[in-house]
Amino acid sequence: MMKRHQTLTAIAATLAATLLSVTHASAGGANADSGTATAPHCVATPEAVQVTCFDTFRKAISFASGGRINNAPTSARAAADDQGLQQRLASTKSASGYVIAATLYDYANYTGPSLTVWTPRPCKDGNGLDFSQDLKGIGWANRVSSLQPWANCWIKLFKESGAVEGPYKTNTPDVGNYINNRAVRIELE
């Protein structure tokens, strides 16, 4: 009984921390529809479970890069075809030293809402887990249809059952029927 109480307490504390730490940008034209990742283009940090959402892909990338990339296309789809942007995303650190590690898209072909994950350092090239992101607590569970890895990261997608798909090592316009709209967690390695 004590263990069950501790587990429930831990779950409640985690949920409360997640709800308190989800932030929403309110300046610079950011979309302020809600406190979850329902705005079109969001940025998340794995260790802080913090999400900040914007009304354009450009604003999300500018935020994630610490303002170093402020001329990205406004749409995620156009950004997917922009080779210059892809090179800058792969090598740009924010002022805090963070890098853009992955961008997930709600729809195939890099369209629809996006979630950009930024991490304190690049990944170490498929040598095991570098970062993990729970998608349930930030409004992105069962949404990933296409993705782009950055900063030397490979992306693995996990179903609720624990089944895994990947690693995805390159831009992937369609993650496939097995995992499409079924990922509840990602790992970056």
Residue recorded with tokens 């853009």: 100
The reported pLDDT for the residue numbered 182 is 98
Where do the H-state alpha helices sit in the chain?
A: 2-21, 57-64, 76-80, 83-91
Q: Give the residues across from 156 on adjacent strands.
A: 187
CA angle at 49 for the pair 46 and 50, rounded to the nearest 5°: 110
pTM: 0.76
Which residues of the chain are under the pLDDT cut of 50? 1-37
The reported pLDDT for the residue numbered 115 is 94
The reported pLDDT for the residue numbered 128 is 87
Q: Which domains does the chain have, with CATH numbers?
A: 23-188 (2.60.20.10)
